[in-house]
Amino acid sequence: MTKLSQRPLIFLGTTREPECEYRVNKYLDGYWTLQFMERGGVEIAYDDETYLCEGPWFWPAYPGPRTKFNKAEGYPHWFHRHVGFAGSQVVEWIDAGIWLEKPQPVPSGRDYVTLFDEIIDQVKRDNSWGSMRAINLIEQLLIELAEARLSTEQAANARPWLNRLLEILEQSGVEPDSLVDFASEEGMSLTTLRRKFRSAMGVSVHHYAIQTRVRRARKMLQETDTPLKVIAEELGYDNVFFFSRQFRQNTGISPGRYRSSR
C-alpha cells in the first residue's frame, strides 16, 4: 500500500443540499469539517468573530471556538456542501499551515463545484480506495486555498498601489473615471493595471467595484428607509432599473425583497 493509504483520517459524513436552511450553533468535539457554499448567503461566527458570506465561499468548523452559521438576512437558503472527518491527518495539515481557519472566498480559475462533488463521491464509496482519493483531493483543495491566501496577502503588502486603489473603490463603490490617470500615476498602462489587479484579487476592477456597490446597497437597504431610486443615485447608477437588475444578479433577490426581509 502507498504511504498515502496509511494516513489516518476517518470520514464522518457529507452533505449536498441545494436549498439549505441549517442553523448550526455548537462546539465541535474531536472532529473537523469543511463547508462549501456554491451560492446564497450565510452568516458565520466563531465565538465573537462574525462573517457575512455571500456567493461562493469555503469555511471550516473545528474544535475550540463555538461555531455558528445560518442563512444570511435576505436569503431564503443557500446551496450547501460539506465533508466531516476526524484523525491525526488534520494535525499534519495544521502543522503544514494549509488548514483553513476562517471563511475564504472561492478563488477564481478553478471549478470547485466539481472538485467538492468529487470529494463527496469518493467518501461515499466507503472503501479504502475512495478514502485515499478523498484525502488526496481535500489536501489538494487546502493547498490551493492556502496558496490563494498567501498570494492575496503578498499582493496587498508588496503593492502599495493596490491598497490605494482598493481604498478608492471601497469609498466610492464605483470604478473611478480617472482610472487611466491612476494607472499613469503608478507608471503603468490601463491594460497593465487591470491585468495586475485581476492577478492580485482574482476578479476584474469592474467586478470588484460592482461587489462593493452591492455591499453598500445591502447596508443601506438594511439600515435605512431611503427610496431605491435615491440609493441607486448615491451608488452611481444612472437608473433604478439597472441597479435592481445588478443587485439581483449578485444576490439572487431583488432590492425590494431584500429590504422587506429585514
- Domains defined for the chain, CATH in brackets: 4-150 (2.60.120.280), 159-260 (1.10.10.60)
Question: Which residue in 123, 146, 113 sits closest to 14, CA to CA?
Answer: 123
Model's pTM, two decimal places? 0.61
Half-sphere exposure of 138 (CA within 13 A, CB side): 33
Q: What is the pLDDT along the chain (262 residues), one digit of tens a residue?
A: 344 445 578 999 999 999 999 999 999 988 999 999 999 999 999 988 888 888 899 999 998 889 999 998 888 999 999 999 998 888 889 888 899 989 999 988 789 999 999 999 999 998 889 999 999 999 999 999 998 887 766 655 667 888 888 888 877 656 666 688 888 888 888 888 888 887 777 678 888 888 788 888 888 888 888 999 999 888 888 888 988 888 887 776 788 888 886 5
- How far apart CA 123 and CA 131 sit, in angstroms, is 6
Question: Per-residue pLDDT tens for 185-236?
Answer: 888 888 888 888 877 776 788 888 887 888 888 888 888 889 999 998 888 8
Question: Which residue in 19, 12, 68, 60 sits closest to 36, CA to CA?
Answer: 60
- How far apart CA 188 and CA 192 sit, in angstroms, is 6
* DSSP secondary structure letter of residue 258: H
